Structure 1
């Protein structure tokens, strides 16, 4: 495909409550811009916090109404008083208008080949009709969920057929030695032939400055070990954070570490107020660190976190001592990722059904005092962003 004029890349990044897809795509965008500085990138997002992400020059967001997943195949409006079918129609028509007016050379679709509840089916059909040279790329994280469940969902939603007939390349943001998703999810041979394991997608470096300089004063002074608790967007992190507060209350005398909770933008308000009250009593810091969380993760002697893709990737990138508490559901993704990487000795973990203040206290003490440093050979490839960028641009040759 020959590019006439400016290279235009379009990305579909469906997040709803979370931040995972958006953070991953932003990391890929940074690598795309390093290789092809004049490219323009437009990202279709529905996360309400997307505009707070910092993008390279000539990149922008376009926001569609937010829709959140509550279970496999079950979605609902987050803000508007609209039934799912009506909201889906609005979103699909907006996406179609964006696609046909922007006319991208590359369209990267994240996670779902047909989009949420099939909202990309019509836009892709129109794209194929009016922009036949556009290259379609599907990006998939390392683990989608339990194999039986994912195979069933993809079969029911005709995702295998849609991916095979419409997409030029499939990028898997993981490694086969960690999880062989092509085999586990029984991808047909035709899909396997155009699939590439990229490695885990993470940032290339720690930013040299804070996005919000006011956060810098919250960094610990280094006189004690630093324990950071982070739950990504925070929507389902309340139980883990509450267990940490309970654990801190069980230490006798002076706390042997400096503790901090990074709440995230989606932590429910009632849980936030309760955590703030408890944190004040116990001398813990608590804040929504936003994009500056990476500076605190880098400084931490122990990170207590959930097992979302981007948090795990950053912990791997920084080789951090970590205690992981995966979320219960609706997908088995986080538990599977945690178990696989824990078997490599990269993290310790607690099953959410076994989580308590006492268990958390014991685990924190063990990880601070008796950590075994993993061998570098146990870490998976973290070149996912640059490999993904090269694979996408390679479709233009």
Structure 2
């Protein structure tokens, strides 16, 4: 089976991590799978299995700004020509590779409709649209997925829609106006991550942490534009200095270099606090930690529940409500603590970190997990 998965870029590692989980599960379950990644992502590709071949599209950055998305091509392309070039590259690859399954992550026509020519040519047997669960607010989601020509396009193009969330936590049909022509194509996989086989003691042993150490781990995913959040985390660590012995701050490979230097400066006098750009075994660190502070992206949520982390999740989006909605659903179930971005910037973490260390949560929800391994059965049912 030839599989190609497209993910655009993103401002974090979440789309790459999702693709890596699906690829790993498919390759583990069958020696006959060939998996190609089609992406503009330029960080975190080491998460992909060695057997995945990456067809690299030119990369861009877009910044989450209240005034709008600020686009920047790494090669200096004007925006229109940039996406035209990416679209042609994608079309040529798909035409020659002719995959059995084309998985398209999140954007039904790709970034700025760059996949439209390739999807129209349909040089693949079947196509699957993969969604993270909560999308945007109701009006924007309906406009971009479920109304008029967009819904017709999805119906013409995609044989299946997989949702990387458990239906008991979130159902598209209950939050958005999903038309009948699409509702029968939806399959809920559950969160992609597997329940972690590691024990807390085993994770600590691998990290070299003593059994009695009180450890805080924090990560903002890819990290782009997260400097203001890191300042709030640094302040909370200072306020709660006597409540922990060690802290590891994983800033993310997309964090701007000037901001990284500022984060290091803010915590340089805090004994036991270490700043790293990237941690290949972040779920292991989350498992061993007494408290985890993280962004509320879909992939991060999946990994928090996978390891049963005592977590504070921060919805960090400025212009979208997806992370706030998702984190709120989990908070209502007593699985995580949350603090909104404005609350965080106003100092809410100072008290919440102390609360999290004093009264830890321990979510145990294996029935909500394991979505990646379900892909083998889903795709087998599609293509035989």
Report the secondary structure of 1:11's partner residue.
Answer: strand
Partner Cα distance (1:42, 1:207) in 2: 30
Equivalent residue in structure 2 for 1:146, among 137, 147, 170? 137
CA shift for structure 1 position 249: 2.2
Report whether the alignment pairs 1:29 with 2:17: no
Pair 256,55 (structure 1): closer, same or farther in 2 beyond 3 Å: closer
**Stretch deviating more after TM superposition (13-22 or 312-321):** 13-22
**Stretch deviating more after TM superposition (68-77 or 262-271):** 68-77
CA shift for structure 1 position 279: 1.9
Report whether the alignment pairs 1:116 with 2:104: no
Gaps of 5+ in 2: 200-204
Equivalent residue in structure 1 for 2:261, among 257, 261, 273? 273
Pair 19,301 (structure 1): closer, same or farther in 2 beyond 3 Å: same
Partner Cα distance (2:128, 2:70) in 1: 24
Report the secondary structure of 1:23's partner residue.
Answer: helix
Report whether the alignment pairs 1:248 with 2:241: no
Report whether the alignment pairs 1:197 with 2:188: yes
Deviations along 1:323-360, one digit per CA (max 9) or x if unpaired, are 11111322211111111100100011111111158532
Partner Cα distance (1:67, 1:92) in 2: 14
Deviations along 1:240-296, one digit per CA (max 9) or x if unpaired, are 2211211222246x5533112111101122221111122221121111233222221
- Please show how residues 42-53 of structure 1 align to structure 2 within 5 Å: 42-53=36-47
- Please show how residues 34-73 of structure 1 align to structure 2 within 5 Å: 34-57=28-51, 59-70=52-63
Report the secondary structure of 1:158's partner residue.
Answer: helix
CA shift for structure 1 position 52: 2.6
Deviations along 1:111-153, one digit per CA (max 9) or x if unpaired, are 11111111111101112xxx4x611111011111111111123
Report the secondary structure of 1:355's partner residue.
Answer: helix
CA shift for structure 1 position 96: 0.3
CA shift for structure 1 position 219: 4.6
TM (normalized to structure 2)?
0.90
Partner Cα distance (1:126, 1:291) in 2: 38
Equivalent residue in structure 2 for 1:14, among 1, 8, 33? 8
Whether the 8 Å contact between 1:199 and 1:383 is mirrored in structure 2 is yes
Which residue of structure 2 aligns with residue 76 of structure 1? 71
Report the secondary structure of 1:260's partner residue.
Answer: strand
Report whether the alignment pairs 1:316 with 2:305: yes
Report the secondary structure of 2:258's partner residue.
Answer: helix
Gaps of 5+ in 1: 1-6, 209-215
Whether the 8 Å contact between 1:250 and 1:358 is mirrored in structure 2 is no
Whether the 8 Å contact between 1:139 and 1:171 is mirrored in structure 2 is yes
CA shift for structure 1 position 207: 9.1
TM (normalized to structure 1)?
0.88
**Stretch deviating more after TM superposition (197-206 or 281-290):** 197-206
Partner Cα distance (1:286, 1:24) in 2: 25
Report whether the alignment pairs 1:225 with 2:219: no
CA shift for structure 1 position 239: 2.2
CA shift for structure 1 position 50: 4.6
Pair 263,372 (structure 1): closer, same or farther in 2 beyond 3 Å: closer
Partner Cα distance (1:151, 1:219) in 2: 49
Pair 122,358 (structure 1): closer, same or farther in 2 beyond 3 Å: closer
Report the secondary structure of 2:36's partner residue.
Answer: strand
How many residue pairs are counted as aligned between the two chains? 376
Whether the 8 Å contact between 1:140 and 1:171 is mirrored in structure 2 is yes
Whether the 8 Å contact between 1:219 and 1:296 is mirrored in structure 2 is no
Which residue of structure 2 aligns with residue 212 of structure 1? none
Equivalent residue in structure 1 for 2:338, among 338, 342, 349? 349
Equivalent residue in structure 2 for 1:162, among 138, 153, 156? 153
